[in-house]
Chains A and B, each alone.
Chain A
């Protein structure tokens, strides 16, 4: 059972470089999410998607873009990395139940450092 798989697990970038974080889920979930987790800040939603071809902004979307071309994949892009984007990034997925009870299934995170 792979669940939610994130690649890469670790990455170091220089300021101004770009990169894409990959998230894949094998549970046929409709909803997918990207969070960042910083010390003392908890999990903050960056972008999310409620289905293939649709994306929406979360709490902290600036500096990030996303794409959901296939149902099982959700990509997070940093066009011009900044030190403030140093964080641990988590992808999650869930199946809609319509009543706010659906659990989110998380990957193990990507640890990103921007120098």
Chain B
């Protein structure tokens, strides 16, 4: 069974602080996706990284895919209350086809004003 371990699992910070979320696995993935989920809603894709070492930026969010394509990180700069939510990483492309994703358990972020 392939696993994606996310850390930390919970984080409560003040507005303006920086944070990094980690997503680690012993398996190699062809892609790594990051989703954000708000209460009462389904996850929504933030970004997909596909190349080892790739870095993508989405406003204040920076995503990195590890060189060996086994891990990824999400860094948020100057967090805002609107960043509050559950952040999920998901690995794809290793289970006999690209149609299934392996999800981490998520990191619940609370940004206090």
Enumerate chain A interface residues (CB-CB to B < 8 A): 4, 31, 33, 35, 40-45, 48, 50, 58-59, 90, 92, 94, 96-109
Contacts and interface: CB of A to CB of B under 8 A. Distances in A.
B98 A108 contact: no
Given A42-B105, A48-B100, A101-B98, A90 B33 contact: no
Interface of B: 1, 9, 29-31, 33, 40-45, 48, 50, 88, 90, 92-94, 97-101, 103-106
A64 B37 CA distance: 25
A58 B101 CA distance: 11
Nearest to A91: B42
Contacts of A108: 40-42
Contacts of A40: 9, 105
Most buried by B among A42, A59, A90, A98: A42
B44 to A, nearest CB: 7
Given A40-B105, A42-B104, A42-B105, A102 B98 contact: yes
A42 B100 CA distance: 15
Contacts of A107: 42
A43 B100 contact: no
Most buried by A among B92, B97, B99: B99
B26 to A, nearest CB: 17
Given A100-B30, A103-B45, A41 B105 contact: yes
Contact of B100 (A4, A58, A98, A101): A58
Given A96-B98, A103-B45, A108-B40, A43 B33 contact: no
Given A40-B105, A98-B98, 7 more contacts: A42-B106, A90-B42, A96-B98, A97-B98, A99-B93, A100-B93, A100-B98
